[in-house]
Structure 1
Amino acid sequence: MRSVNNHCDLYDFSIWGNEDVSSGKGAKDENFPVGSLLISRKLRPHVQAYYNFARVIDDIADSEMLSSEEKVKRLNGMQAVLCDDVPAPDRADVQAARYLRNSLLETGVSFDTATDLLIAFRQDAVKNRYETFAELLEYCRYSANPVGHYLLDLHKENADIRPAADALCTSLQILNHLQDCRADLIRLDRCYIPLDMLRAENVDVQAVKDEGTISGLRNVFDYILDYIDDLNREAEQLIRLTSNRRLRMESSVILTLACSLTEHLRKEDPLATRVKLNYKDAIKAVLYACPHILR
């Protein structure tokens, strides 16, 4: 279990500010199902506790009201509450860490599945450009892949299937980056599109703020989507190897939605509008998952 080295400042409640920084987002705002009915009733509260914690720390990292230093302090505070149960304000955002702590202790799931997320969000607080695709993948290692590890551990799945789960989680993360690339740059001056890829197409990062995608930037998007296609194919192993029937169906739904969103992003312009899944995509995902009921 990881800890923050210096907790003395956490007893000064002023580091938390006077309010939380919730975005107001919930499961209904996500591309992919969060704690859906495919997850067993017994495990759903634990998945929700994990999601709530992730939502809170993501909101801290993306806050427009906090400085980088304040974001890091709050994220360190969330880790101290999570790992060491240190005193902190009795507030909804802080309670998310306490609830997850209790959940992880009850289920035996590794605390790393949560503290790794904090590594990524502390990075978001101080880093707003990615030089190479390798840098982006390293970010996804902490920002996305722990979610798959959490679900596998919660369902007592074999750790050998983690690489397939990593492929799916990384795919979902980069798809989200492409969806929100213009908004992220305008609102947070943050760009996850690798700079070396932009330079190779003679595209300045400021082109991501435009209301339409120029040809060079479209080439970059398509190259990234080609890589996502490879990730999605690798993630198919997750459906074959997952033992728990409910988690297998959930994984099938999410993978099908990831493939559908990849197709939308190839055909639509993420700078002109936020490319989204639709009702037909959801029906398709459910139908594709049905054969896994009998396995």
Structure 2
Amino acid sequence: MTDDTRIWGQADVSSGKGASDENFPVGSLLLSRKLRPHVHAYYDYARVIDDIADCESLPPQDKITRLDAMEEVLLGQRSAINRADALSAARLRASLLQTHVPFETATDLLVAFRNDSRGHNYHTWDDLLEYCKYSANPVGRYLICLHGENPAAFGPSDALCTSLQILNHLQDCAKDLERLNRCYMPSELMQRAGTSAQDLLAGRTSPAMRRVFNTLLDGVDDLNRQASALPAHIKDRRFRMECAAIVALAHRLTQRLRREDPLAGRVALRRTDAMHAAIAALRAWA
């Protein structure tokens, strides 16, 4: 077996997901055409490492080996082989060198995905926030740096990205446990409410689990309030509109998860939510 095969493996780990599968815009038409290729390079890399961590057929150590190899290509410590996963890291490296966006916006993601690969447990709300610091917040910071915006935007951007990540955990909590044996619901909250992770597989939300969800959504409400300040920090008009739209969508999805049952079916944004986001974006144009 060649060294490349040992490191990268032979199996395709792609989930088949693309930008259209996300809740929120990825490199949308609101962003500058000049910057869009760089955003897509970042998204492609993030999708690959996410797929590696979520691959059901790879053992944990193989996932970590592949993630380590992606980081080595990204940092120029290893040459990329002719495979989509390795090439995504090489393309992002070229993009980061061209745009001078810090490499930490890409390498920090690997901290979270290595934890996912190992099957990390989350006991408290603070544990979950620490995970989001690496799994989600680098995305907003990447975009802020790419647009040359003031670092004062980092705080509300972190709040928004953390909100979006926790909302996604709530949407997919049953699937994550069933497919990946992974639970992001803090065990301390579940114990306090008198429930456990296995209740996520019940097909409907019990009163006890609803208390856990509502506690998490209370935290998300606070994050959304902090995130509402983000558009005011953004000078680039098109990027400001994008931020305003995403903040509006975060508020709308939070409301839906309050009213609907994520264990009975995936709670998703609807056309009316997109309309509210479009209105928020237009208001941010001025």
Q: Which TM bucket (shorter chain)? A: over 0.9
Corresponding residue number in structure 1 for 2:62: 70
Matching of residue 263 in structure 1 with residue 255 in structure 2 = yes
Per-residue CA deviations over 1:177-211 (Å, capped at 9, x if unaligned) read 00000000000000000000000011021001110
Per-residue CA deviations over 1:12-46 (Å, capped at 9, x if unaligned) read 44211113310000011000000000100000000
Corresponding residue number in structure 2 for 1:227: 219
Matching of residue 249 in structure 1 with residue 237 in structure 2 = no
TM-score calculated relative to the size of structure 1:
0.95
In 2, are the aligned partners of 1:20 and 1:93 still within 8 Å (CA)? no
Q: Deviation at 1:100?
A: 0.3
Q: Distance in 1 between matches of 2:76 and 2:11?
A: 22
Q: Deviation at 1:292?
A: 1.5
Residue 270 of structure 1: SS of its match in structure 2?
A: coil
CA RMSD of aligned residues (A): 1.1
Q: Distance in 2 between matches of 1:87 and 1:96?
A: 12
Which of these residues, 77, 100, 116, is aligned with residue 124 of structure 1? 116
In 2, are the aligned partners of 1:11 and 1:87 still within 8 Å (CA)? no
Matching of residue 275 in structure 1 with residue 267 in structure 2 = yes
Q: Distance in 1 between matches of 2:80 and 2:8?
A: 8
Q: Distance in 2 between matches of 1:172 and 1:97?
A: 24
Query: Given residue 23 of structure 1, which amino acid in structure 2 is its aligned partner?
Result: S
Q: Distance in 2 between matches of 1:237 and 1:291?
A: 14
Q: Deviation at 1:84?
A: 1.5
Q: How does 1:1-295 map to 2 (within 5 A)?
A: 11-294=3-286
Q: Deviation at 1:129?
A: 2.0
Q: Distance in 2 between matches of 1:139 and 1:282?
A: 28
Q: Deviation at 1:152?
A: 0.3
Runs of 5+ unmatched residues, structure 2:
none
Q: Distance in 2 between matches of 1:214 and 1:14?
A: 45
Residue 228 of structure 2: SS of its match in structure 1?
A: helix
Q: Distance in 1 between matches of 2:35 and 2:100?
A: 13
Q: Deviation at 1:11?
A: 5.0
Query: Given residue 48 of structure 2, which amino acid in structure 1 is its aligned partner?
Result: V
Q: Distance in 2 between matches of 1:165 and 1:37?
A: 20
Identity percentage of aligned residues: 54
TM-score calculated relative to the size of structure 2:
0.98
Q: Distance in 2 between matches of 1:136 and 1:225?
A: 13
Corresponding residue number in structure 2 for 1:6: none
Q: Distance in 1 between matches of 2:122 and 2:128?
A: 6
In 2, are the aligned partners of 1:140 and 1:173 still within 8 Å (CA)? yes
Runs of 5+ unmatched residues, structure 1:
1-9
Q: Deviation at 1:259?
A: 0.6
In 2, are the aligned partners of 1:85 and 1:98 still within 8 Å (CA)? no
Q: Distance in 1 between matches of 2:93 and 2:76?
A: 9
Question: Which 4+ runs in 1 deviate beyond 6 A?
Answer: none
- Matched pairs, number: 285
